[in-house]
Amino acid sequence: MRPEDLPEVRHLPLFRDMDKNNFDELLGRSYDQTFPAGLEMIRQGDPADFLHVVLDGAVELYGKWGGRECTMAVIRPVSTFILAACIKDLPYLMSARTLERSRILLIPAPDLRTTFRRDTEFAVSVINELAACYRAVVRNTKGLKLRNSRERVASYFLRQSRLLDDAPSYMLPVEKRLLASYLGMTPENLSRTLKALESHGVKVNGMRVIITDRVKLAELAQPDILIDGPDPDALGSGSSLPPVQRRA
- Applying CB under 7 A, the residues found at the interface with DNA are 37, 148-150, 175-178, 184-195, 204, 206-207
Q: How far is CA 146 from CA 113, 142, 151, 193, in A?
A: 37, 6, 9, 18
> Between 227 and 244, whose beta carbon lies closer to a second copy?
227
Edge-to-edge strand list for the sheet holding 68-75? 40-42, 95-98, 59-65, 68-75
Q: Which CB atom, from 78 or from 183, has the smaller least distance to DNA?
A: 183
Nearer to a second copy among residue 142 and residue 192 (C-beta): 142
Binding partner selected for residue 138 from DNA, a second copy, none, CB under the kind-specific 5 to 8 Å limit: a second copy
Give which of DNA, a second copy, none residue 194 binds (C-beta under 5 to 8 Å, depending on kind).
DNA
Instruction: Report whether 42 contacts 95 (CB < 8 A).
Output: yes
Closer residue to a second copy in complex, CB, 21/148: 148
From DNA, a second copy, none, which one binds at residue 177 (CB under 5 to 8 Å depending on kind)? Answer: DNA
Within 10 angstroms of residue 66's Cβ, the number of other Cβ atoms is 5
Q: How far is the CB of 91 from DNA (least distance, A)?
A: 27
Task: With both helix axes pointing from N to C terminus, report the angle between 214-221 and 149-163 in degrees, rounded to the nearest 10.
Answer: 130
Give the Cα separation of 173 and 5 in Å (integer): 22
CB of 68 to DNA, least distance (A): 8
Residues of the shown chain interacting with a second copy in the complex, contacts defined by CB under 8 A? 44-45, 63-66, 68-70, 72, 83-85, 87-88, 90-91, 93-94, 116-117, 120, 123-124, 126-128, 130-135, 137-142, 144-147, 184, 222, 224-227, 231, 238-239
| Residue of 212, 238, 33, 31 lying closest to 130 (CA atoms) | 238
> Considering CB distances under 5 to 8 angstroms, the limit depending on partner class, which of a second copy, DNA, none binds residue 245?
none
**Sequence-separated (6 or more) residues with CB below 8 Å from residue 20:** none
Closest approach of Cβ 232 to a second copy, in Å?
8
Residue 107 DSSP label: E
Q: Which is nearer to DNA, 9 or 204 (CB)?
A: 204
Is the CB of 32 or the CB of 151 nearer to DNA?
A: 151
Cβ-Cβ contacts under 8 Å for 197 (sequence gap 6 or more): 150, 153, 154, 157, 204, 217, 220
Min dist CB 164 to DNA, Å, is: 20
Cβ–Cβ < 8 Å for 146, 140: no
In the list a second copy, DNA, none, the entry touching 91 (Cβ below 5 to 8 angstroms by class) is a second copy
CB of 127 to a second copy, least distance (A): 5
